[in-house]
Amino acid sequence: MITRSTIALCILFSWILQVSNLAAQSASTTAQGLGGTVFLHETFDSYAAGSVPQTPTLRRAELVNVVEGQGQVGSGNVAHFDDSDTKLSGAMEYNVGASGPGRLYLEFDALNHAPLKGDGSSSMIFGVGTWDTGKGLVLHAKSTRAFGFEMYQQKYLKLRVGDKTTASMHYDPATGLNVKIWVNDNDTNTLSYKRPDTGDTSLLDPDSVVVWVNNSLIDELPPSGCPMNREITKGDTAVGRVGFSSASTKVSDFLIDNLHMEDPLGQSQVAAPKPKAVSEAEEVTPASMPGAETKAYREGDNAMNLFVFKPDGWQADDKRSAFIYFFGGGWTSGTPLRSASVAAWAAENGMVGIAPDYRTKNRFGTSPLASVADGRAAFAWAVEHADELGIDPTRIAVGGTSAGGHVAMWTAIDKSPPGSEPATQSNVKPAAVFLSSAVTDTSPDTGYTPSRFGDDAISLSPVHQLSEKMPPVVMFHAANDKLVQYSTAVTLYHKLTSTGNACELITVPQGGHGFSSEFPDWKMKVREKMIEQFKREGLLPAVR
């Protein structure tokens, strides 16, 4: 006999099945169809408003309450992380996986709930650390986090390892943040994942993490350069504690929803061996170069050379145009051997090609300030010795790759930056500037490695120190540059053109920071654009 109780039970089971299917669909959608083992999918809808969330994986919840979302973040109820009215610090930490997975896909939505409160040190940090069931609080200290993604009340985001900020950017506090993070804590295997912006498959190296916000890349921490905290991540299957904590006891007021954590199913394979990096001991300052004349642009203390490539048929009274090209290497590595091919190419086109050396950290133990000072001195020397070089001092173009582009830009700016002698400032500006994957912003909020510059981060940031009248600028920058953000090139372009200066930005749709090495056809496109620019600015033909 079918009773009312039987019918009620059938309806109840049907409802439970529907809810389960919806939850599964939500998890699958949130995880972009990755389909791995889901460790946690929390929408906070199962809790009453005013309650504290509780699950078997939640190790600690302090100053976190469930509130009605009112459509601000996701839907339904959300978690309110609020330590603004107490001297205590907030926390919401989960343990995921059985004993700590070797890789994680993490996603959550967040909204700044008090954008007008707090100061520059007030933030909520999403951290990843060691799996640990024995402790209620793990992620509160920078020394126990593999990395921290910091969301500040004061409208900017940071990715940090220990004391080092690896990336930072502004955000709109009125707009919700969708954060996607892939962590690969395997020591030898890569992890493939789908890029949120294009859907293309990318590989994440061993011991690396990549962070996306609103489908825009914030940064990738590779195993070299500035990796995750190795004391935390050494050895496979180490991570597994994830969650939120306060950076201060002042203001940290955010809404959190759709917290999702899973083991991604991206293909894993042994990472290809990397070319052996040149060590500091192996990096030698060249005293000469085949096909070039060595000239000392500074003698005595901090003596420094540049290398001059002269074209066939060169004569001292030619008054040719010249092209000075600065090598890249993050102000840390590199020698003018990297820029010699560009200088030699300029000579093949009738110009005088110059590859200057400048001080770097590996060879001289110096900071970027010394690199900039040397670049300005090298340009000024070329202007002063134009007769000796057989060039017209008003027809000298400059260029550079990466940090070399940063150095090149400073030869065109009137202000004397920190670390540079005003006496080395040339009274002649470059005739043109050519940049490839250049560092043009070193500011704390939006720039590349501002920590390298300390208090001089803005003073050494070209986009913040532009002269009223700048030489014409042409720049190439890859849209997918993970090292020096493409957005910095866009900002420079708009700032130059809005002030009446000439600037052309060529967006490279493939490759990354070293796009011309990854795709040789783009190397040819770069050279062709140089020719076009030089003709437009009257630098070619080289002899007028």
Alpha carbon distances (Å) from 80 to 72, 115, 179, 358, 482: 12, 14, 17, 52, 32
Q: pLDDT tens for residues 490-522?
A: 999 999 999 999 999 999 998 899 998 878 789
Does residue 48 have a pLDDT over 70?
yes
Q: pLDDT tens for residues 166-202?
A: 777 788 888 999 999 999 998 888 999 999 988 888 8
Burial status of residue 98 (CB atoms within 10 A of its CB: 0-12, 13-18, 19 or more): exposed
pLDDT score, position 29: 37
Q: pLDDT tens for residues 296-345?
A: 999 998 999 999 999 999 999 999 999 999 999 999 999 999 999 999 99
Domains delineated in the chain: 31-263 (2.60.120.560), 293-536 (3.40.50.1820)
% of the chain exceeding 90 in pLDDT: 63
If you average pLDDT over every residue of the chain, what do you get? Answer: 88
Residues whose CB is less than 8 angstroms from the CB of residue 527 and which lie 6 or more positions away in sequence, other chains included = 345
Between the CA atoms of 368, 372, 378 and 384, what dihedral angle is there, to the nearest 10 degrees? -160
User: Do the beta carbons of residue 159 and residue 166 sit within 8 Å?
Assistant: yes
pLDDT score, position 282: 67
pTM for this model (two decimals):
0.55
Does residue 105 have a pLDDT over 50?
yes
Q: What is the mean pLDDT of residues 22-36?
A: 43
In the structure, what pLDDT confidence band is assigned to residue 28 with cuts at 50, 70 and 90?
Answer: very low
In the structure, what pLDDT confidence band is assigned to residue 65 with cuts at 50, 70 and 90?
Answer: very high
**CA–CA distance, 429 with 395 (Å, rounded to integer):** 9
**CA–CA distance, 478 with 515 (Å, rounded to integer):** 7
pLDDT score, position 535: 97
Burial status of residue 233 (CB atoms within 10 A of its CB: 0-12, 13-18, 19 or more): buried
Does residue 103 have a pLDDT over 50?
yes
pLDDT score, position 8: 42
Least trusted range by pLDDT, from 271-275, 310-314, 369-373 = 271-275
